[in-house]
Amino acid sequence: MPLRALLYLGMLSILSLLGACASTPAPVQSAESYFKEGEAAYASRNYEEAIALWKKVKESYSSRELTTRAELKIADAHFENKAYIEAAAAYEDFRKLHPAHEQAAYALYRLGLSHYFQISGIDTDQTPVKNAVVTLEGFLGLHPDSAHAEEVRQKLADCRVKQLEYENYVGNFYLRTGKYPSAIKRLSEALERFPGTPKLDQTLFYLAKAYLKSGETVQGREILKRLATEFPDSPLNAEAAKL
């Protein structure tokens, strides 16, 4: 056979082999495999990688049970990664999609914590505090005997202290800027909303000052007596005596 023909046949064989290789589909990874890899990444604290792998489980649509587990795992990974806004959204989605799921209570608990850990300074947006209070109260209403109940009560009590601190902050702002009626209204409402909460001595002190500054001496003196009676050890009593 002529050399040219041999070369031609050789090239055809090579091209045929290359075509066969190119047409061979890549092996498809199973949802179970993605899920296990996600668990390994999560255990290694590679939370972004874990989220990406569990999203592939969701996209596979191979198993409703596995997809549901992946949804909750994604929320947990966001939470452990301190991405609390994303975690809150994921837990909320899980609860809406699976309200009767055995892990719905856990998702509600974690949703409350996700809001709680978004709380920052007293002079910032107070929406996370409000969301945390609503969610944590809702959890206790539904699951008062939960293993998480005591922790939730502690977080809720802390939220109420933060809410009172904010009311004191605003009330004192009105006081410092000479808006005494606004200060009196804000601080009086705070006394009614947060009975028995730490920092009420500060509320009473500011309220007494607002009354006295506005010329309402009788009311101011009554509030000062209440401060001394209810909070005898408050350091504010020494300053109150000078008013």
Provide the token pair at 33. Answer: 């495999």
- Of 59 and 151, the one with more pLDDT: 151
Shared-domain flag, residues 126 and 67: no
Amino acid (one-letter) located at 213: K
Shared-domain flag, residues 85 and 140: no
Position 28 confidence tier, pLDDT thresholds 50, 70, 90: low
Shared-domain flag, residues 76 and 188: no
Q: Which pLDDT score, from 0 to 100, does residue 9 have?
A: 42
Shared-domain flag, residues 193 and 235: yes
Which structural domain range is residue 177 located in? 119-242
Residue where a domain terminates, one of 115, 150, 182: 115
Residue 107 C-beta-side C-alpha neighbours within 13 Å: 24
Is 226 within 8 Å of 191 (Cβ atoms)?
no
Shared-domain flag, residues 110 and 127: no
The helix/strand count (H/E) of the chain reads as 12, 0
- Of 23 and 120, the one with more pLDDT: 120
Q: How many domains does the chain have?
A: 2
Residue where a domain terminates, one of 58, 89, 115: 115
Which residues have CB under 8 Å from 152's CB, separation 6+? Answer: 109, 112, 136, 139, 140, 146
Q: Which of 19-28, 128-137, 199-208, 210-219 has the lowest mean pLDDT?
A: 19-28
